[in-house]
Amino acid sequence: MISATTVEPSLLARYDRPGPRYTSYPTAPNFSTGFDESDFRRFAEVRGHRPLSLYVHVPFCSNPCFFCGCNRVITRSVARGEEYVRRLLQEIERVGPLFRDRRVEQLHFGGGTPNFLAPAQLGRIIEVLRRQFDFAPNCEISVEIDPRVLGNDDVRKLADLGFNRASLGVQDFDPDVQVAVNRLQSMEQTVNAIGDCRRAGIHSINVDLMYGLPRQTREGFHRTLEAVLDMRPSRLAIYGYAHLPQMFKGQRQINSDELPDPNTRVALLGMAIGALTAAGYRYIGMDHFALPEDELALAQDSGTLQRNFMGYTTRGGSDLLGLGVSAISHIGNSFSQNPRDLSEWERALDRGALPVWRGLSMDEDDVIRADVIGRIMCQGDVDIAAIERQYAIDFWTYFAGARPLLEELASDGLVWACSSRIVASPKGRYFLRLIAGCFDRYLPAGGAVSSGGYSKIV
């Protein structure tokens, strides 16, 4: 078990800097507008047998949560939701024929607040998706749910549509924290939503918490952890709050003087790791936990765990197709992203185009480094001989520049690196992003970056 005392304050101060979360490599800031619709089609038309994960972005929220860094639109207009669905169906019908030979193994609705849309609207989207794509019989179909805007019978209707996983945002039950971040959500609302899911047959349930929020204390977060553990979700995500007010207008409402200091911040994470591990959850890595029998833990055991723009996910070896405003795709050795601005996404669809805004074609070096970084982020372990066999390289010659960076981390007890393996230490699991950054050729020498849209590593 990792405790908060494992990480010394001096170490936190030394590595208190921004860095990528490595939901992709290369990361999104390296995407270029030189990658367009024709490039996307070129990669999509390469016939193969890689299955698909589908992601559908629903940007709307009724109220702003000040901490949120997601791409969202604040509105209470039902009409805006209907207009969005209409254009989303157009995008699905245009892109679907490019992937007729692929089987869909996962479908996830994220946001924003996906249940801003009524179950009937979500049902229309799923109907068109099923018409355009070949769904596996055991397809995982998941949705992010805001318990505050659930109707009385909504969860049963979602289950009838085929949803078999649900993720619920909580962040913190402490009333003072909720006021500071403008997200008032009672424990009763959350308990009722989880109960509705289980009664409807949705037993795979994730709960999102967040550490590093304003006014957060060890005592208050401990109470939140106890309450959530009593609910016994199959997974938990404990995200570190990324305070980037220069990028996200809503965060300017947060008083930075009320944010926990770095030592308290890591203590909150350490508390979560300790409490969840003691309760029987496995620490998957960085910010995800799962019960041992959950598919996420089983995927880590089998080596099929992967990391993408939704965090850690199962069904390794899949391509990701993103639909909706700001959604990101990872097709073959390419990344592409739809416009982040809703009106730009709408205009692209209205003129009959696929709404590709920017992207990137990976070269051979990107592919090799992405594999190494993915193993660090998902397993905390790199089998050097396996990399050498797969890519016909001498590992330490190829990654000569990474060695001094790793040696610095090794001197602080964060990683063990030898001729055969690279392994994150228990303390180093706080710093997986830092270890992965040793292999990122896009970072400046030494891995130090200005904020550039990156959150703090711890």
Q: What is the pLDDT of residue 70?
A: 86
Q: What is the pLDDT of residue 274?
A: 85
Whole-structure pTM value: 0.92
| Identity of residue 361 | S
* Torsion angle, alpha carbons of 239, 440, 309, 234, to 10: -50
Fold of 27-323: pyruvate-formate lyase- activating enzyme (3.80.30)
Q: What is the three-state SS of 312-326?
A: EECCCCCEEEEECCC
CATH number for region 1-22+364-458: 1.10.10.920
Nearest by Cα to 382 from 333, 330, 430, 438: 438
Let me know if the fold of 1-22+364-458 is the same as that of 27-323: no
Q: How many CB atoms lie within 10 A of CB 111?
A: 24
109 forms bridges with which residues in the sheet?
56, 143
Q: How far apart are CA 76 and CA 193, in angstroms?
A: 21
Coil, strand or helix at 133: coil
Q: What is the pLDDT of residue 240?
A: 87
Q: How far apart are CA 366 and CA 368, in angstroms?
A: 6
- Per-domain boundaries in the chain: 1-22+364-458, 27-323
- Going by their DSSP bridges, the two strands 288-290 and 282-285 should be labelled as antiparallel
Coil, strand or helix at 104: strand
Q: What is the pLDDT of residue 454?
A: 67
Q: What is the pLDDT of residue 2?
A: 40
Going from the C-alpha of 37 to that of each of 43, 140, 354, the distances in angstroms are 10, 28, 6
**What is the Cβ-side half-sphere exposure of residue 158, based on CA atoms within 13 angstroms?**
31
Q: How far apart are CA 322 and CA 313, in angstroms?
A: 15
pLDDT digits (tens, 9 = 90+) for 81-109: 999 999 999 999 999 999 988 999 999 99
Q: What is the pLDDT of residue 46?
A: 82
**Burial class, 400, CB count within 10 angstroms (exposed 0-12 / middle 13-18 / buried 19+):** exposed
Q: Which residues of the chain have pLDDT under 70?
A: 1-10, 12-13, 47, 316, 445-456, 458
Q: What is the pLDDT of residue 313?
A: 78
